[in-house]
């Protein structure tokens, strides 16, 4: 837990599960890292060659299943906070990816 912020639900998850204290990035650039994080796969296997810019017509391939999509199927309500960098067109945006 945090010394000044109460996080009882997160603390309970940690108590029941495994505490991970080291993080390894899935890729050296933002799009690849996010693709790896969201799919659990190596960015190169997902088909994300580099950074998706704001004017591109590409994104995280639609045939890739995201963690958010899996959680949604299990009944969780999801939200996206922060950068996305996995496609800027409607089909690729967070609301359409779980």
Active site residue 85: yes
Of the CA atoms within 13 Å of residue 15, those in its CB half-sphere come to 7
- The one catalytic residue among 29, 30, 37, 68: 30
Active site residue 30: yes
60, 92 Cβ separation under 8 angstroms: yes
- The one catalytic residue among 31, 38, 85, 86: 85
61, 50 Cβ separation under 8 angstroms: no
Residue with tokens 């010394």: 3
Catalytic annotation, residues: 30, 85
């Amino acid at each position: 837990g945090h010394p000044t912020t109460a996080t009882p639900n997160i603390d309970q998850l940690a108590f029941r599960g495994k505490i991970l204290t080291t993080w390894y990035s899935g890729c050296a650039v933002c799009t690849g890292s996010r693709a790896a994080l969201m799919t659990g796969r190596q960015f190169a296997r997902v088909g994300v060659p580099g950074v998706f810019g704001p004017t591109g017509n590409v994104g995280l391939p639609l045939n890739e299943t995201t963690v958010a999509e899996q959680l949604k199927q299990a009944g969780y309500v999801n939200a996206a906070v922060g950068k996305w960098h996995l496609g800027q067109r409607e089909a690729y945006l967070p609301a359409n990816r779980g």
